[in-house]
């Protein structure tokens, strides 16, 4: 395994910004041939209306985080741009790791105004509760937010695609104004935590800000009968790297427990599990994930797998588990501390 070694309540205008229809995304849908047989009185077919619904849930360039990225980009000097800015199609933009510096300069190397803008962007990409958790995680893992690194791809000031990426120990996070069509969060992301600086956490993961997600997953396991547990439980965990959340589409193997075979209460618990994870992010990113998931079959399309490997304390509270569908992959690895890989997209 490769490893390391306060936000105000969201305003109505911010929520509105997350919900407005993206004209650019709608035009993309038209260009892809989504306008066909029209619905009487609407002039749009079902596929086109679905595309518009997805667009309403996607982040836009006018959202608070995105506008802060544009101001951050504008503030950069020529030497700074040479150090942390890249063309949009640069291969670094799509990289996701559990511990890496996308560029050499850290946030603390920027001037005070630029540091403040980075903090504003970070607040904008997370919920109020999520921001508090990220700040705790970053303090425990690296001494604080200023130790992290940011890069800008593309041109945030123009109508061209762009993406702001934050990296460091236990984080790869993105803001893209929906520049990466069909990809929630602008691409795969990573978040993790070694609580209170402890590389080897106790079995209860005391102080780990992300462990409640695993508690929600294990509640589902506790409701399974013997036959279901046999399907859900495997011996060996998957690799702790980005390939584990590579989307498989129709080639998704029939391993693990199919959520579609569960009863209504268990399906609702699965939705609650997804909600627990999405609660740390801003509303429009969370909504886009849900729209992507619904477009690929909803929770019924997902498969849930738990792994016996590295069961801390041998308490059968499974530290490592995965929720995966054709276009949804979330791998939670809680040993020796938490690593979480996430990749969600729309099916083509």
pLDDT tens sequence across 175-216: 999 999 889 999 999 999 999 999 999 999 999 999 999 999
9 within domain boundaries: no
Q: What is the pLDDT of residue 348?
A: 66
Residues 334, 209 share a domain: yes
List all residues 6 or more positions away from 161 whose beta carbon is below 8 Å from its beta carbon: 88, 154, 176, 179, 180
Residues 113, 48 share a domain: no
Task: Determine which of 23-27, 96-100, 178-182, 245-249 has the lowest per-residue pLDDT on average.
Answer: 23-27
Instruction: Please check the confidence at residue 224 and state whether its pLDDT lies above 90.
Output: yes
Question: pTM of this prediction?
Answer: 0.85
Could you tell me how far CA 119 lies from the centroid of its own chain?
Answer: 18
Residues 110, 41 share a domain: no
Residues 68, 47 share a domain: no
78 within domain boundaries: yes
Residues 169, 260 share a domain: no
17 within domain boundaries: no
10 within domain boundaries: no
- Please answer whether residues 211 and 133 qualify as being in contact, where contact means their C-beta atoms are separated by less than 8 angstroms: no
The last residue of one of the domains, among 56, 78, 98, is 56
Secondary structure (3-state) at 257: strand
Residues 205, 111 share a domain: no
Residue 229 banded pLDDT, cuts 50, 70, 90: very high
Residues 306, 262 share a domain: yes
274 within domain boundaries: yes
Q: Which of 196, 6, 168, 190 is nearest to 100 (CA)?
A: 168
Measured CA to CA, the distance from residue 222 to residue 232 in angstroms comes to: 11
Number of CB atoms found within 10 A of residue 150's CB: 25
Measured CA to CA, the distance from residue 328 to residue 92 in angstroms comes to: 22
Residues in the chain: 348
Q: Would you call 91 exposed, middle or buried from its count of C-beta atoms within 10 A (0-12, 13-18, 19+)?
A: exposed
Which structural domain, as residue segments, surrounds residue 36? 23-56
Residue 347 banded pLDDT, cuts 50, 70, 90: confident
Whole-number Cα distances in Å, 200 to 193, 262, 284, 310, 339: 11, 35, 35, 11, 13
Tell me the mean pLDDT in the region 101-122. Answer: 98
pLDDT tens sequence across 275-321: 999 999 999 999 999 999 999 999 999 999 999 999 999 999 999 99
Task: Name residue, tokens 């849908």.
Answer: 29
Residues 151, 116 share a domain: yes
Residues 206, 139 share a domain: no
The last residue of one of the domains, among 128, 146, 181, is 181
Residues 336, 213 share a domain: yes
Residues 312, 256 share a domain: yes
Instruction: Please check the confidence at residue 328 and state whether its pLDDT lies above 50.
Output: yes
Measured CA to CA, the distance from residue 143 to residue 135 in angstroms comes to: 10
More confident residue, 30 or 137: 137
The last residue of one of the domains, among 147, 181, 215, is 181
118 within domain boundaries: yes
16 within domain boundaries: no
Tell me the mean pLDDT in the region 8-24. Answer: 43
Q: What is the pLDDT of residue 36?
A: 27
Tell me the mean pLDDT in the region 92-113. Answer: 98
What is the tally of structural domains in the chain?
3
298 Ramachandran zone, left/alpha/beta (phi>0; psi -120 to 50): left
Whole-number Cα distances in Å, 196 to 151, 168, 202, 338, 345: 28, 17, 11, 12, 33
Task: Name residue, tokens 């596929």.
Answer: 47
Residues 171, 95 share a domain: yes
pLDDT tens sequence across 241-281: 999 999 999 999 999 999 999 999 999 999 999 999 999 99
Residue 198: phi and psi, rounded to 5, are -90, 115
Instruction: Please check the confidence at residue 46 and state whether its pLDDT lies above 80.
Output: no
Tell me the mean pLDDT in the region 318-327. Answer: 98
Task: Name residue, tokens 């890989």.
Answer: 341
13 within domain boundaries: no
- Please answer whether residues 4 and 99 qualify as being in contact, where contact means their C-beta atoms are separated by less than 8 angstroms: yes
Assigned token pair, 254: 């029939």
- The alpha-helical segments, DSSP class H, found in the chain are 12-19, 23-31, 46-56, 64-75, 78-84, 112-125, 128-142, 211-222, 226-232, 264-278, 283-295
């Amino acid at each position: 395994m490769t490893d390391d070694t306060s936000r105000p309540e969201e305003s109505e205008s911010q929520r509105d910004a997350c919900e407005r229809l993206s004209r650019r995304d709608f035009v993309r849908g038209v260009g892809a041939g989504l306008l066909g047989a029209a619905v009487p009185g609407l002039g749009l077919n079902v596929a086109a209306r679905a595309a518009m619904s997805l667009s309403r849930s996607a982040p836009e360039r006018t959202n608070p985080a995105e506008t802060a990225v544009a101001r951050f980009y504008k503030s950069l000097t020529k030497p700074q741009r040479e150090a942390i800015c890249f063309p949009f199609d640069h291969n670094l933009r799509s990289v996701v790791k559990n511990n890496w510096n996308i560029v050499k300069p850290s946030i603390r190397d920027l001037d005070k105004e630029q540091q403040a803008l980075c903090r504003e962007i970070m607040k904008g990409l997370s919920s109020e509760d999520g921001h508090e958790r990220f700040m705790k995680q970053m303090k425990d893992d690296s001494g604080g937010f200023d130790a992290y690194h940011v890069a800008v791809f593309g041109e945030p000031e123009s109508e061209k695609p762009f993406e702001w990426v934050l990296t460091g120990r236990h984080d790869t996070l993105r803001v893209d104004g929906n520049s990466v069509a069909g990809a929630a969060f602008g691409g795969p992301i990573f978040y993790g935590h070694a609580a209170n600086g402890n590389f080897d956490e106790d079995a209860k993961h005391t102080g780990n800000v992300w462990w409640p997600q695993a508690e929600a997953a294990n509640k589902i396991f506790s409701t399974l009968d013997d036959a279901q547990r046999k399907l859900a439980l495997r011996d060996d965990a998957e690799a702790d790297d980005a390939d584990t959340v590579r989307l498989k589409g129709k080639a998704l193997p029939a391993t693990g427990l199919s959520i579609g075979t569960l009863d209504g209460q268990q399906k609702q618990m699965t939705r609650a599990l997804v909600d627990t994870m999405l609660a740390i992010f801003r509303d429009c990113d969370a909504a886009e994930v849900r729209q992507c998931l619904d477009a690929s079959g909803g929770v019924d399309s997902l498969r849930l797998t738990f792994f016996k490997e590295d069961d801390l304390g041998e308490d059968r509270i499974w530290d490592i588990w995965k929720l995966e569908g054709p276009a949804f992959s979330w791998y939670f690895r809680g040993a020796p501390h938490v690593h979480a890989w996430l990749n969600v997209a729309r099916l083509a």
